[in-house]
Structure 1
Amino acid sequence: MRSPQRGVHRAKAPKVALCSTGPSGPTAPGCMTTRNNHQRHQLHEQLLAVHRAGLAAAATVETAANRIVRRRAIREGDRALEDLLRDLDGLLRYFARRFAHDHHDLEDLMQTARLHAVRALPSWQPNGGATIATWVATFLHSELRSAIRRIRPHHEVLTSFDINALDDLGLEPCVVEQAFEFVESATDTGDRLDRLHSTLDPHDALHLAEMARGDVGAAGSAWARGRVRALVAHPTSGVMQTTATSSPFPRPSTPIDIDADTAWVAANPEPQPNWTVLARCAGDEQADYFPPRGVAYADSTIERCRTCPVRLDCLAAGSQDSTWPGMWGGHPLRARTAIRKAMRTKHSKVTTK
């Protein structure tokens, strides 16, 4: 018998709109958000207000009324923080799933990102700062860099000799397998870090460079913090290329001379806006401009800097911070330190009649 329901068109269930990246705020396919950006901003402002109220109550004389105010502020802050993290959980999981190998790795990465989010709530500026996607991705960026730092000592030891010759050294099979895992893990972590950069909103690139300063934290040395900032700001990173709002102009080609370049930087301490768009090194291998300590720069790298149409702008940008390593405007860190010293000496001389 023919089913009475056959031929009847059933109404389809309405499709739930997935998250997408738009001008109103950062979202991602596969994550469901329950609040819009305006509500997130209100939660963030509430958290900051509660934090200020708690500090004010702690600074006053301890009384029963002050204790009640402080406890109420703590409860309100906990509820607002839970709501904000619950709303961001889908976005966190979307980003973390792309860079985790298994369930345990995913949960570890999620927990680390949540911890970073709690500690860095005051650094998020919803009214004019980075979008939530970049804010969240920055914490994963920090964790991946930490993983690279943990792997690097083993990677340097293992790559100092031919890894394929490990079997001839009479080592246990587990040692050989672990050696290969270290090398593969270092390569894979670097690839994941590159993919993370590609997921960021282009208009948040400048703010990401600022957030990278606090990303390494006080535990890192001045050299480590300067290296992170330099790697993000250098034209070879490709991050600064996407923020162009005006067209820079090329400058005449000049030879690399420390005296002439010092005079130019002293007269023009600020590079022209969006100079990185014309940089010749854009798209080059970043390791050529940031080699390990003690390794000389290749002649081809210096030649690219010499013929760069914005070489002097690059030098001005690289001379603003004495802890920035790498090749900037054809000058390594030691030469740029001498340029900064000469500029300070020149400005310190006061002529009197």
Structure 2
Amino acid sequence: MIERPDVDTLLAGPLGAWLREQENVREDAKKTMRSRRFTVLVVLLPLAAFVLIAFSFDLAPVIWGTFVLGALGFGWAYMPVMNAVKAVKVGINDAIADALGLSYSHDCEPGMPFELAKACKVLPSHDRAHFEDEWRGHFGSIPFSVHEAKLEERRGSGKNTRWVTVFHGLVMSIGYSKRFLGTTILVKDNAYRKFWGGKSDSVKVNGMQLDYADMTHPDFEDRFDIYTSDQVEARDLIDPLYVERLIAVEKSYHGDDVATIFHEGSLVVTLKTGNMFESGSIEASDDRTKIEQTVDQFMRLSDLAKELNSREARTGV
């Protein structure tokens, strides 16, 4: 579908020259981090001892305050390394995207695929969201976009408030040549439940009512549910081969909770994968491995788009 970028070719071109320039930047970042850490220790520990002795404070609040200030201080110390790693990541991912004929943006906003997935309730409820690493373009003739999403829910209250990650993975859109007659959603088993328990017979999402579709497949019953506005089309779209492909996708990415939405002219896929596309490192010796890892991830995405798109891809975005 697409030609795999050659890592040797990438490193022999402008990317390799740029990475060599970044070696000094990364070394300077590490030196700055070590210097800042030393400053934090030199200032913070004597300050804590002074407060404890001079003001006769209890030990517990002094320890707590030292811990908080220490965390802030070490965060400040690490910033040069974090910025250097991000710069390398963006540079590498830009080069890979160019080789693939895609566009890449580190910072991004959610688009139609995420909003549709949220409206269809295939993503968990959350209180804050972070998006990054958007790739957009075509795999062959198939219009394609993907980005990472990290969704967090606020739990507890007061001092016990904490943020819990409820989803960290991919939101992907793959184009089709035809508009679907209805909307069909495939989700994990029992994702939609009745108020008093049990599988829902129908769901209302995105202004539509979708009815449960009964499918027969040896691996299907305990893993996935289908809801659709067009029973005939759903059976045509989601056959045993398609289910096998989804199971293979989960195994390939070591992910779970895969969900797909057939809507209008696109297939939207969500999959928990954890962090991906992290091609940046503070160590220059890691560059080749990181590039190979990111290229591998994209070739798997290409295979995924091809496997899940059994119909002729449209030629426009």
TM-score normalized with structure 2 length: 0.27
By relative contact order (CA 8 Å, sep 6+), the higher-ranking structure is 2
Max Rg structure: 1
Higher helix share: 1
TM-score normalized with structure 1 length: 0.24
